[in-house]
A and B are shown apart, each in its own frame.
Chain A
Amino acid sequence: MVGGLKRKHSDVEGEEEDEKRDWSPAGLQSYQQALLRISLDKVQHSLGPRAPSLRRHVLIHNTLQQLQAALRLAPAPALPPEPLFLGEEDFSLSATIGSILRELETSMDETEPPQNPVAPPGLQNELPPQPDPVFLEALSSRYLGDSGLDDFFLDIDTSAVEKEPALVPPEPPHNLFCAPGSWEWNELDHIMEIILGS
């Protein structure tokens, strides 16, 4: 009844059959760093005119956390660390991801009361108000691994996090609905329904 397959796997993550992958500690680390780079890239570019997919974002975030954990546990690399290797800056990485999620939340949430974004320590009082799109643009134009993280957080907009009315009044009817919404139309429709027995 159970149709599962017993699979043979090497003892590392997956196999890429297009090339012989180097699974030495250095090779593995470079693979993990590549994944980290890809993931950070995705986080940056997922912001656009439409609200991003929360599911995709959460999945990438969780994958990033796994990569973080794996890189933390790895021995010091033989190669000089790439600018994106955030070994010591793990805290700011997770704080950055956290602040991205928070920003997404405040940009998508209608009913939540205003929350003070908890910036990483030392940056609490350096948040001048700016409109949301500027922040989004700043995210997409900067690499998260930059040492310019301080400047990055300067663009966070706190003034946009305002309490909205609990009930947003419904949009006025589009021209599609104007005629059907009028009293005369409803009456006629009702009469027609009676006549046609529908």
Chain B
Amino acid sequence: VQNSKLMFSQNFEADIISTVEFNYSGDLLATGDKGGRVVIFQREQENKSRPHSRGEYNVYSTFQSHEPEFDYLKSLEIEEKINKIRWLPQQNAAHFLLSTNDKTIKLWKISERDKRAEGYNLKDEDGRLRDPFRITALRVPILKPMDLMVEASPRRIFANAHTYHINSISVNSDHETYLSADDLRINLWHLEITDRSFNIVDMKPANMEELAEVITAAEFHPHQCNVLVYSSSKGTVRLCDMRSSALCDRHSKFFEEPEDPSSRSFFSEIISSISDVKFSHSGRYMMTRDYLSVKVWDLNMESRPVETHQVHEYLRSKLCSLYENDCIFDKFECCWNGSDSAIMTGSYNNFFRMFDRNARRDVTLEASRENSKPRASLKPRKVCTGGKRKKDEISVDSLDFNKKILHTAWHPLENIIAVAATNNLYIFQDKVN
């Protein structure tokens, strides 16, 4: 990460982006937004006659995944915002993805159509029904080429299974099932069956007055189809093995780092709340994101993480203000690169952070149009935490807390990253010398 130079590649403007996800090959990049739409980008084939295009992403398909709903019984709006998108592994020419809002998960099929049938017997070319008495001969419709059309159609709708807001979906390595998690429960679904799901985790207390902890994220292990993890608002991660019991109320492993008593404050619990948990591609590690740091855990060691990376420690002295303006509740995501040698997460002021685990170095970069000229290398940024501000540094008080990068994604194989900065999608690629 440190030796390769990332350069600005592309920028797309949209509604406020709420999720970003590459598919398994990295050829497709899906974004979901606050308006319930999904936009899929496809990487161009590398073209020898245009060597500088280097596989740029272009819009491939756009569709409305979710609509706003109104629950009349409770007088509550159900937001159409897409919380998560997860791709299914590709099995044929079509692509499948799961998209979810707070309440309903949908399975979408995205397929290409480049032929159409002509010469129907019962209707005209413009679709009008032909008068049956005028049909005197039978013909076989023929297939003719047409301009490529990409269609998205909803294949399954998984509804009415979540009382609380869905925060995660995760496709199992068996490619047949997936989990959906809300604040208090995790359900297991079969991709073919929409009218029932199996509840595997339930954190709801008998008396809601005792509620003190909620589920914040959940994920299946990338290789072991019986293993899943879920994180909580108290900064803990529970690993469950579905083989040991049907209802995973008893965890197999419990990951929690003991609190540092010298840094205890009224905000300790809030900043320990885990906003994202991700397994490494290898399946040996997992990463958690809390408000100020990213931690890497070895699945065999529950007592403490093996690595802790500070994202923006300079905010620790600002927690009261960040509590007041609600920023302390922002949920940042994190991601691994394809080889698990680097991790990335977002911050404020349109900054995002990348950590090279092997070289033990990190860098702060900025996603903004002012600083992005085509194919220009990204310049590392630095936040001045005290004392005299050097040239090109930004002081903590100048940071724009409305410009937050909550969602980032890393191509599964190459050094290409997608960064969502509010309503702008940035794509950065490795510079080739």
A residues at B contact (CB < 8 Å): 1-5, 7, 9, 13-18, 32, 35, 38, 42, 49-51, 53-56, 58-59, 61-63, 66-67, 70, 98, 101-102, 105, 107-111, 131-133, 164, 167-168, 170-171, 174, 176-177, 180, 192, 195-198
Whether B265 contacts A2 by the Cβ 8 Å rule is: no
The residue on A at minimum CB distance from B76 is A51
- Chain A residues whose CB sits within 8 angstroms of the CB of B260 once the complex forms: 7
Across-interface contacts of B208 in A (CB, < 8 A): 101-102, 105
Closest 7 CB pairs of A and B: A13-B265, A98-B209, A54-B183, A105-B208, A14-B265, A3-B308, A50-B77
Contacts of B163 in A (CB 8 A): 108-111
**Shortest beta-carbon distance, A84 to chain B, in Å?**
16
CB of A108 within 8 A of CB of B164, answer yes
Chain B interface size band reads: 35 or more
Q: How far apart are A89's CB and chain B's nearest CB, in angstroms?
A: 17
Stretch from B5-13, B317-325, B416-424 contacting the other chain = B317-325
Q: Does B47 contact A (CB under 8 A)?
A: no
Q: Which residues of the other chain, A, contact B363 by a CB distance below 8 angstroms? A: none
Known pairs A1-B306, A38-B323; A164 contacts B73 (CB<8 A): yes
Select A55's contact among B67, B273, B319, beta carbons within 8 Å.
B273
A7 touches B209 (CB 8 A): no
**Cα–Cα distance between A13 and B213 once the two chains are bound (Å):** 23
Interface string of B322-334 (1 = CB under 8 A from A): 0110100100000
Q: Are A198 and B93 in contact (CB under 8 A)?
A: yes
Partner of B273, one of A9, A59, A70, A171: A59
16 A-B pairs with C-beta separation under 8 A: A2-B304, A7-B316, A16-B318, A35-B323, A53-B165, A55-B214, A58-B211, A58-B212, A58-B214, A59-B270, A66-B269, A132-B75, A171-B69, A174-B67, A192-B113, A198-B93
A1 to chain B minimum Cβ distance, whole angstroms, is 6
* Contacts across chains A and B counted by CB atoms under 8 Å: 142
The stretch from B124-132, B151-159, B367-375 touching chain A is: B151-159
Asked whether, in the complex, the Cβ of A196 is within 8 Å of the Cβ of B115, the reply is yes
Interface contact B77-A63, CB-CB below 8 Å: no
CB distance from A62 to the nearest CB of B (A): 6
Write the chain A residue with the least CB distance to B143.
A195
Closest Cβ of chain B to A193, distance in Å, is 9
Do A108 and B74 touch (CB < 8 A)? Answer: yes
At the interface, yes or no: B3 with Cβ under 8 Å from chain A? no
Give B49 Cβ to nearest chain A Cβ, in Å. Answer: 30
Interface residues of B (CB under 8 A from A): 64, 67, 69, 73-79, 92-94, 102, 111, 113, 115, 117, 143, 153-154, 157, 159-160, 163-165, 183-184, 208-209, 211-214, 216, 233, 260, 262-267, 269-270, 273, 304-310, 313, 316-321, 323-324, 326, 329, 360, 397
> Quick one: given A1-B307, A102-B208, are A9 and B262 in contact (CB under 8 Å)?
yes
Contact partners of A192 in chain B: CB under 8 A:
113, 117
| Cα–Cα, bound, A59→B92 (Å) | 45
Residue contact A9 to B165, C-beta cutoff 8 Å: no
Is B165's CB under 8 angstroms from A54's CB? yes
A17 cross-chain contacts in B, Cβ below 8 A: 317
Residue of A nearest to B232 (CB): A55
Interchain CA distance A135-B276 in the complex, whole Å: 34
Q: Are B310 and A14 in contact (CB under 8 A)?
A: no
Cα A60 to Cα B209 in complex, Å, equals 14
Docked complex Cα distance between A171 and B209 (Å): 33
Tell me which residues across on chain A come within 8 A of B317, comparing CB atoms.
14-17
Measured CB to CB, the closest approach of chain A to B32, in angstroms, equals 17
Is there an interface contact between B76 and A59, defined as CB atoms closer than 8 Å?
no
Q: Chain A residues with Cβ under 8 A from B94's Cβ?
A: 198
Given A16-B317, A108-B163; A54-B307 close (CB under 8 Å): no
Q: Tell me the smallest distance from the CB of B209 to a CB of chain A, in Å.
A: 4
* Bound CA span A105–B317, Å: 34
By a CB distance below 8 angstroms, the chain A residues around B160 are: 110, 167-168, 170
Chain A nearest CB from B197 CB (Å) reads: 13
User: Please, which residues of chain B bring their CB within 8 A of the CB of A109?
Assistant: 163
Q: A35-B320, A108-B74 are in contact. Are A59 and B233 (CB under 8 A)?
A: yes
Residues of B within 8 A of A107 (CB): 74-76
The residue of chain B having its C-beta at the shortest distance from the C-beta of A94 within the complex is B209
Docked Cα-Cα span, A195 to B165, in Å, equals 41
Of B163, B216, B310, most A-chain CB atoms within 10 Å: B163
Residue in B214, B321, B326 whose Cβ sees the most chain A Cβ within 10 Å: B214
A157 to chain B, nearest CB (A): 11
Known: A53-B165, A195-B143, A198-B94. A62 touches B212 (CB 8 A): yes
